[in-house]
Amino acid sequence: MEQIIPEAAAPRVYLETYGCQMNVADSETVSAVLRRAGFTIARRPEDADVILLNTCAIREHAEERIIGRLSDLARLKSAHPRLKLGLLGCMAQHNRAALVERAPWLDLVAGPDSYRRLPELIGRVAEFDPAVDVRLDRGETYADISPDYAAGVRAYVTAMRGCDRFCTFCVVPYVRGRERSVPPDAILREVEELAARGVKEIVLLGQTVNAYRFDATDFGVLLRLIARIAGIERIRFTSPHPCDMTDSVIDAMAAESKVQPYLHLPVQSGSDRVLAAMQRGYTVREYRELVERVRAAIPDLALSTDIIVGFHGEEERDFGATLELMRAVRYDSAFSFKYSVRENTRAYRLGDSVNEAEKGRRLNEVIALQEGLSLERNRVLIGREFPVLVEGPARRGVGMLAGKTPQFKTAIFPAAGDVAPGATVSVRIESATGHSLTGSIV
């Protein structure tokens, strides 16, 4: 067995992350685990002894991108034979068997519940035999490991892991395992430390984050506990499931001014037939009633959603119902996806009745409709003032700063005097696109 950890120099790890915010947070945990074990973090793959990709399996497209990247890195490896290459996360969990067979240059395959054992796994990498650890562990929350948070005014804190909903299209419950919540005292300790470091905004993460429960602490209670922490000015969360939007959660959002008026509420489809086939657990009417309830409780609420087009069996009238729902709800923004059949899921055996071109057409229609809605929703804000938490220089425009309104809309405005990241300024909106607002500090 070859030992990759040299005696003298600390081994350097390069970590690259794909997929959702949950994966970004997991990479921060991986980084903490490895640094504790004596590794250092490399900034470029060329500088590393170990390259780890934290991967996504939600759609085929995500996996294809990662496979492309892997073959690039395999070339780097042939130039540097001592370089170790590993795959972490959802795709590692999902494709473990195929990966070991089809990617012989992979040295390590580790699923989302194996990160605690990474130092040991890396040490175990042998010449011809990849180290594989894809055991799911319904008790693993990494509650005792403080992640290496990225610098900034906002930090993402994991509140719960896994998912028990088993929507028929979704691979998440299979690759991330059963739902489990991080103990509230561990979350509060993290948030207090972040506040002490100057973080102003906390985003609580979980695959169905509002299903959070630890003993008597449900998600509404958790929001209220975090709102008590001095220094934290804004609290957000993603992604909630419509079925877990209890009164406790809505009341906490309404009562706690730090909990921001923005809700990402994935609907997936506007057709009852398709929702039933997806086993989402609600009808269009129930979803719309929920939207009414949260809008009544939280003034000025911004709403976003996820939409899947071309699910197996989706007919033109089902698709029409999705467009109709979008117009009725008038979302501020929407993330839309072509249905991608995933192995192991309940819908896998059903088939894939909508062809690729038709999925593309439907996706474009959803995008075009949403662009119009987003523009309308943003234009009515012209002339109004919003507190904007300053994040830093705007990506475009010299001398411009960017930040978010409470509704999570990007606001861009000319820098002024001593306004620095972390400050909250009042910005009057002067113009709007579907993607951002531009204004000036008042």
By the criterion CB under 6 A, which residues form the site for ligand SF4? 163, 165-167, 170, 172-173, 207-208, 241
Q: How far is the CB of 21 from ligand 5AD (least distance, A)?
A: 10
Q: Binding to ligand 5AD (CB under 6 A): which residues in 91-110?
A: none
Q: Are 86 and 108 in contact (CB under 8 A)?
A: yes
Contact string (CB under 6 A) for ligand 5AD, positions 282-311, x = contact: ------------------------x-x---
Q: How far is the CB of 160 from ligand SF4 (least distance, A)?
A: 11
| Residue closer to ligand SF4, measured from CB, 17 or 210 | 210
| Residue closer to ligand SF4, measured from CB, 241 or 377 | 241
| Residue closer to ligand 5AD, measured from CB, 67 or 227 | 67
Q: How far is the CB of 170 from ligand SF4 (least distance, A)?
A: 3
Binding at 163: pick from ligand 5AD, ligand SF4, none (beta carbon under 5-8 Å per type):
ligand SF4
**Phi–psi pair at 237, nearest 5 degrees:** -155, 155
Contact string (CB under 6 A) for ligand 5AD, positions 140-179, x = contact: -----------------------------xx---------
β-strands 84-88, 108-110 pairing: parallel
CA distance 200 to 159: 18
CA distance 178 to 163: 5
Binding at 58: pick from ligand 5AD, ligand SF4, none (beta carbon under 5-8 Å per type):
ligand 5AD
Q: How far is the CB of 92 from ligand 5AD (least distance, A)?
A: 18
Binding at 165: pick from ligand 5AD, ligand SF4, none (beta carbon under 5-8 Å per type):
ligand SF4
Distances (CA, A) of 267 to 165, 170, 238, 311, 379: 14, 14, 14, 13, 25
| Residue closer to ligand SF4, measured from CB, 170 or 325 | 170
Q: How far is the CB of 322 from ligand 5AD (least distance, A)?
A: 12
Span between the terminal Cα atoms of the chain, in Å: 66
Cβ burial, residue 189 (10 Å; 0-12/13-18/19+): middle
| Residue closer to ligand 5AD, measured from CB, 98 or 126 | 98
| Residue closer to ligand SF4, measured from CB, 191 or 278 | 278
**240 touches ligand 5AD by CB under 6 A:** no
Cα torsion 431, 436, 437, 440: sign: negative
Binding at 124: pick from ligand 5AD, ligand SF4, none (beta carbon under 5-8 Å per type):
none
| Residue closer to ligand 5AD, measured from CB, 33 or 57 | 57
Q: How far is the CB of 87 from ligand 5AD (least distance, A)?
A: 20
| Residue closer to ligand SF4, measured from CB, 166 or 335 | 166
Structure-token match 């990759």, residue found: 4
Q: Are 114 and 76 in contact (CB under 8 A)?
A: no
Q: How far is the CB of 261 from ligand SF4 (least distance, A)?
A: 23
Binding at 173: pick from ligand SF4, ligand 5AD, none (beta carbon under 5-8 Å per type):
ligand SF4
| Residue closer to ligand 5AD, measured from CB, 156 or 169 | 169
Contact string (CB under 6 A) for ligand 5AD, positions 327-346, x = contact: ----------x-xx-x----
Q: What are the residues binding ligand 5AD (CB under 6 A)?
A: 58-59, 169-170, 266, 268, 306, 308, 337, 339-340, 342
